[in-house]
């Protein structure tokens, strides 16, 4: 049994026992860490501690919720409670475990004579549960009455009646609910409950089997003639549909959960009959009327090419094929979001590597990329709004999300890190709503890559209406997994990868139509043993042109809208300049900055000069504001790896005479004011044993994405943001952007484009597309004596994806999103 099977009263009682300092939740958290998947981070333990600040908060209840999300079993919880010698909790939980709880109740079901009825009763409790079945007061003593399932076949009139199951373990006994079995004649005929009656019942219209797509409306009809007038009751997979009591069954926005077999029971005072079975299949929904997939049929004299416009003949054999038409983008922008450190849900490992690798690959194709990790609800909404500002007519827009997600009624939802345990669409971000807003920008290509689960969310019964989509024929969805399925990640030593990205990164840079490239990714995944039966890429598209992610950017002139996009992108990637600090003791310290992601920055300190009488010296950073996320155990480390930065690599390590200390600053999007901290210089003189300290405060402003103030709400359903909007500029004059640039409050934003040390003015000609991809290090060539800068790795050294990369060693290597 999983902890999640315990009811709320039991969990509250347990959490009360665990809310103490001597033998409580902290000791339990240490005990469960012997299983790696249940190990809690320092951040999670701190979040548990902060629960005491709330009147109704409980650290123990929060810990139990995390353990339940990570599929901790009741047996292992008991083992850990015994390990910490919590006798009260062990005794209480043992008594609960010995209770019998019915988990599956037998269901009433009408069935035709000669058919087959299976009544199922399942229970949880101690090992060796016994099952007894009764019809009324009479026990069923044959072999079928001693198991969890009672099978009645072939069904006869003698089998009619009420059935109940008795579950026992020693003296403990629990009874299931009653289930009624009723015999009904074949479809179209009637069974008279009162022989000799002159009334009758005849089904005149049977429900028909059909195939519909997700999001469509399911319509079934059953009609009958009877005296007295008939009543109707619909069944889905033999289960009564309580709300369907009319001759027509109408269900809007169906999902895969609605597929199966449907029958209608028609009855009146004297007669009843079952309709024939209608089988309903639910296929993937289409954004418009067609799904677009390219198929290579080879050369044939009568070869045809199918497209949304119809069927037309291609060239005859022997004639040269026409040259492939090339398409161009006016610009290419991408928003990449990876959510890992969820507050109330299972922690993920792969999004950091997946976002980083895809960022580098897209930048090589001249995409302007904004990459963000661990966003809450407000930050995700604000980031999308800022992303929409980068879009315009002819622009290629790409959105990638890795994290928890779900799909209801044909709509996909991305889950923020602060989503509550029982989240609904109100707590998440709807992908289809983003698509609706993107279409308003008249983009040349809209690509959505969703690396998340697509299971249905049982807590959410809200049908979201994202708005009417235009027929733009430029949309491509690449889902990491199929409908009603999960997406997985594979754990490695220091870095994990999602299954989807492991294969996508091998193909994404190919000069092929997006759908063709994703089709090949799907084939690669299908050839790998480890993905079969677990995860398969699903492609949805209505792309009518041969648009490729590798298409060149072509802009005839410097439009104001393009300048705004360049400025908006530059602001989100502006790093502080390197600084050189002189201390009273004669030590000179260099302070440098490197971007790991758009909201994660690495700060390093280097001792450049020190007097001969100082034998040891180090410059450490401290006193960071509470807005940003700093792991104190990993700050001021000698290597990037020790500082928690797996994505940055050092192209040239500093010499031993100039050691560096690294500190990783996360969650820059939550920074409300300029970032301030203190450099504490520790040094020792040759003739002194005591260490001396000097401190200097440093203010570096708002680096990277913090300038966009993603923590602030945006106006709903508009293209404006807190920073600036296309609508606020005169689109005929590039020079009018100078004022807008001044309002950003950054005097050096455009130095990001200064690849050769020469800064570009906002009123200069448009920066080149390749120049828009800024270096990841803030050092410039002005300081010739400075060590070589840090750069991001273009691809993690994980090797090619093949059969030998993945093994079936342990299933815990797989973690569903």
Give the catalytic positions in this structure: 404, 453
Q: What would the DSSP string read from start to end of 329-365?
A: BSEEEEEEEE----SSS---SSHHHHHHHHHHHHHHT
State the Cα–Cα distance between residues 334 and 343, nearest whole angstrom: 26
The residues near 424 (Cβ < 8 Å, ≥ 6 apart) are 457, 459, 460, 462
> Phi/psi of residue 95, each to 5°?
-65, -35
State the Cα–Cα distance between residues 307 and 285, nearest whole angstrom: 19
State the Cα–Cα distance between residues 692 and 680, nearest whole angstrom: 10
Q: Return the C-alpha torsion angle 305, 309, 310, 313, nearest 10.
A: -40
Q: How wide is the angle at C-alpha 590 spanned by C-alphas 587 and 592, nearest 5°?
A: 160
Q: Judge if the upstream peptide bond of residue 228 is cis by omega within 30 degrees of 0.
A: yes
Q: Which residue's structure tokens are 């201390």?
A: 583
Task: List C-alpha distances in Å: 814 to 453, 534, 560, 811, 817.
Answer: 13, 10, 48, 6, 10
Number of helices (H), then strands (E), in the chain: 14, 44
Checking 810-813 for CB contacts under 8 A at 24+ apart, the result is: 812/36, 812/37, 812/491, 813/490, 813/491
State the Cα–Cα distance between residues 756 and 758, nearest whole angstrom: 6
- At 634 the three-state DSSP class reads helix
Q: What would the DSSP string read from start to end of 392-449?
A: -TTEEEEEEEES-EEEETTEEEEPPTT--TT--GGGSEEHHHHHHHHHTTT-SEEEEE
b/e 206-221 (16+ beta carbons within 10 angstroms → b): bbeeeebebbbebebb
State the Cα–Cα distance between residues 521 and 543, nearest whole angstrom: 17
Backbone CA torsion sign across 23, 24, 29, 31: positive
- At 122 the three-state DSSP class reads strand
State the Cα–Cα distance between residues 207 and 223, nearest whole angstrom: 9
- At 382 the three-state DSSP class reads helix
Q: What is the DSSP letter of 381?
A: H
Q: Provide the pairing of β-strand 210-213 with 278-283.
A: parallel
Q: Provide the pairing of β-strand 395-402 with 331-338.
A: parallel
Q: What is the DSSP letter of 726?
A: G
Backbone CA torsion sign across 74, 62, 630, 427: positive
Contact 408, 255 (CB under 8 A): yes
CA-based nearest residue to 250, from 221, 211, 282: 221
> Which parts of 461-542 are beta strand (E)?
475-479, 488-490, 497-498, 538-541
Q: How wide is the angle at C-alpha 698 spanned by C-alphas 692 and 699, nearest 5°?
A: 170
Q: What is the number of other CB atoms lying within 10 angstroms of the CB of residue 469?
A: 14
Query: Which residues are bridge partners to 334 per DSSP?
Result: 369, 398
Contact 336, 355 (CB under 8 A): yes
- At 310 the three-state DSSP class reads strand
């Amino acid at each position: 049994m999983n902890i999640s099977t315990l009811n709320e009263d039991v969990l509250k009682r347990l959490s009360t026992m665990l809310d103490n300092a001597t033998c409580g939740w902290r000791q339990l958290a240490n005990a469960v860490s012997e299983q790696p998947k249940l190990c809690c981070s320092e951040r999670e333990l701190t979040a548990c501690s902060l629960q005491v600040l709330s009147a109704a908060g409980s650290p123990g209840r929060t810990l139990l919720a995390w353990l339940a999300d990570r599929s901790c079993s009741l047996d292992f919880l008991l083992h850990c409670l015994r390990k910490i010698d919590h006798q009260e909790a062990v005794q209480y939980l043992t008594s609960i475990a010995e209770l019998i709880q019915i988990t599956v109740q037998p269901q009433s079901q009408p069935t035709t004579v000669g058919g087959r009825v299976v009544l199922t009763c399942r229970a949880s409790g101690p090992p060796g549960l016994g099952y007894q079945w009764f019809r009324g007061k009479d026990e069923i003593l044959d072999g079928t009455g001693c198991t969890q399932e009672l099978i009645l076949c072939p069904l006869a009139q003698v089998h009619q009646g009420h059935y109940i199951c008795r579950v026992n373990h020693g003296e403990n006994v629990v009874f299931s609910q009653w289930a009624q079995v009723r015999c009904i004649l074949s479809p179209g005929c009637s069974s008279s409950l009162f022989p000799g009656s002159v009334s009758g019942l005849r089904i005149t219209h049977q429900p028909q089997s059909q195939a519909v797509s997700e999001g469509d409306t399911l319509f079934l009809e059953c009609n009958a003639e009877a005296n007295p007038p008939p009543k109707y009751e619909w069944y889905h997979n033999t289960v009564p549909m309580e709300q369907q009591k009319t001759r027509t069954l109408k269900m809007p926005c169906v999902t895969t959960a609605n597929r199966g077999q449907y029958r209608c029971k028609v009855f009146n005072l004297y007669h009843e009959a079952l309709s024939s079975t209608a089988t309903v299949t639910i296929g993937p929904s289409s954004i418009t009327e067609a799904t677009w997939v390219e198929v290579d049929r080879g050369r044939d004299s009568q070869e045809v090419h199918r497209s949304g416009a119809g069927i037309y003949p291609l060239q005859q054999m022997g004639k040269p094929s026409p040259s492939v038409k090339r398409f161009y983008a006016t610009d290419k922008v991408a928003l990449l979001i990876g959510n890992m450190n969820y507050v109330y849900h299972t922690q993920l490992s792969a999004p950091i590597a997946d976002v980083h690798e895809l960022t580098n690959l897209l930048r090589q194709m001249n995409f302007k990329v904004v990459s963000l990790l661990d966003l809450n609800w407000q930050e995700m909404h604000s980031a999308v709004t800022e992303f929409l500002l980068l879009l315009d007519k002819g622009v290629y827009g790409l959105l990638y999300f890795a994290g928890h997600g779900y799909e209801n009624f044909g709509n996909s939802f991305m889950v923020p890190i602060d989503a509550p345990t029982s989240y609904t669409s109100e707590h998440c971000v709807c992908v289809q709503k983003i698509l609706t807003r993107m279409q308003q920008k008249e983009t040349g290509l809209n690509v959505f890559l969703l690396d998340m689960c697509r299971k249905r969310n049982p807590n959410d019964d809200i049908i979201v209406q994202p708005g009417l989509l235009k027929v733009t024929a430029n949309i491509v969805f690449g889902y990491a997994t199929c409908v009603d399925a999960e997406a997985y990640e594979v754990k490695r030593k220091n870095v994990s990868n999602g299954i989807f990205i492991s294969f996508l990164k091998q193909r994404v840079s190919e000069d092929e139509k997006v759908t063709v490239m994703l089709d090949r990714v799907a084939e690669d995944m299908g050839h790998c043993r480890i993905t079969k039966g677990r995860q398969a890429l699903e492609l949805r598209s209505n792309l009518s042109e041969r648009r490729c992610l590798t298409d060149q950017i072509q802009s005839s002139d410097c439009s104001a809208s393009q300048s705004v996009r360049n400025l908006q992108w530059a602001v989100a990637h502006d790093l502080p300049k390197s600084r050189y600090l002189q201390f009273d003791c004669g030590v000179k310290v260099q302070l440098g900055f490197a971007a790991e992601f758009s909201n994660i920055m690495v700060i390093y300190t280097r001792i450049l000069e020190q007097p001969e009488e100082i034998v040891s010296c180090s410059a450490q950073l401290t006193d960071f504001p509470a807005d940003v996320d700093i792991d104190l155990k990993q700050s001021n480390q000698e290597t990037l790896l020790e500082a928690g930065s797996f994505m940055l690599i050092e192209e040239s390590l500093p010499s031993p005479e100039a050691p560096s200390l690294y500190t990783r600053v996360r969650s820059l999007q939550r920074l409300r004011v300029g970032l301030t901290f203190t450099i504490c210089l520790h040094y020792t003189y040759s003739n002194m044993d005591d260490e001396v300290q000097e401190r200097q405060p440093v203010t570096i402003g708002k680096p990277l994405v913090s300038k966009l103030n993603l923590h602030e709400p945006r106006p709903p359903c508009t293209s404006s943001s807190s920073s600036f909007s296309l609508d606020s500029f005169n689109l005929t004059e590039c020079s009018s952007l100078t004022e807008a640039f001044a309002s950003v409050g950054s005097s050096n934003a455009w130095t990001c484009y200064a690849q050769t040390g020469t800064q570009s003015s906002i009123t200069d000609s448009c920066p080149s597309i390749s120049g828009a991809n800024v270096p990841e290090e803030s050092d410039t060539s002005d300081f010739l004596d400075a060590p070589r800068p840090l750069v991001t790795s273009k691809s993690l050294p994980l090797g090619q994806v093949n059969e030998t990369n993945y093994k079936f060693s342990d299933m815990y290597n797989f973690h569903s999103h």
